[in-house]
Structure 1
Amino acid sequence: MNILFVCSRNNWRSPTAESIYKGRQDHQFKSAGTEPSAKIRVSAKDILWADLIFAMEKKHKQRLLDKFPAETEQKEIIILDIEDEYTYMDKELIEMIKLSVDAYL
């Protein structure tokens, strides 16, 4: 299964999620951001690649739906409700991501 993590700037939350899971052999993981200033900006190709998408906040899901209506039409996008108040690999952020995501894997 291909899994995409999405946040705003692809600096802290989504790269942390990708780093947590990237060593797994049973799934592929990527991360991207919705903002023009994102390190890796989400693309239509990313959406099409993904079997499952995790958005850190409701606004990220809405941005995906608005910008990529055709690509997201048949996609499951799960909102994790993780605010932008953590740094990369923050212990609490890792716990929140695992608590929310592990059940889907």
Structure 2
Amino acid sequence: MSRHVLFLCSQNRLRSPTAEQVFADWPGIETASAGLLADADELLGPELLEWADLVFVMERAHRTRLSARFAPWLNGKRVVCLDIPDDYDYMDPALVELLKRKVSPHLR
């Protein structure tokens, strides 16, 4: 059975789509990504949280916003903050390396 892994950032343009792409081919894992701001390319909704087994946020502020807006759908879900600032372009090699280092231990 696949684990459903959700990556969240502010606008779903750089960090979370990169993470979704990087881990999309991992065995036993299905990935998705979304943003927490109203102008996000893919806006987070309750159905995506219900789908997810494990949720990664890029910054502490994302965890705060997530908890404030979606508390009823977070019951028992593991939310991991990666502490990755918005300093990278989509698929930036440095971002890919950082994601692999910080996310991989949680996927074992």
Amino acid of the structure 2 residue aligned with 1:91: P
What is the match of residue 24 of structure 1? Answer: 26
* Aligned mates of 1:44, 1:60 — CA distance in 2: 15
- The alpha carbon displacement at 1:21 in A equals 1.0
Moved more, 65-74 or 30-39: 65-74
The alignment-based identity, stated in percent, is 38
The superposition leaves residues 48-83 of structure 1 with CA deviations (integer Å, 9 ceiling, x where unpaired) of: 110000000011111111111110121110000000
Amino acid of the structure 1 residue aligned with 2:5: I
Is residue 2:80 matched to residue 1:92? no
Q: TM-score, normalised by structure 1?
A: 0.97
- Unmatched segments (≥5 aa) in structure 1: none
Amino acid of the structure 2 residue aligned with 1:86: Y
Amino acid of the structure 2 residue aligned with 1:70: P
* Aligned mates of 2:104, 2:96 — CA distance in 1: 11
* Aligned mates of 2:87, 2:18 — CA distance in 1: 13
* Aligned mates of 2:81, 2:28 — CA distance in 1: 22
Q: TM-score, normalised by structure 2?
A: 0.94
Q: How many residue pairs were aligned?
A: 105
* Aligned mates of 1:57, 1:73 — CA distance in 2: 20
Moved more, 18-27 or 38-47: 18-27
RMSD: 0.7
* Aligned mates of 1:60, 1:24 — CA distance in 2: 25
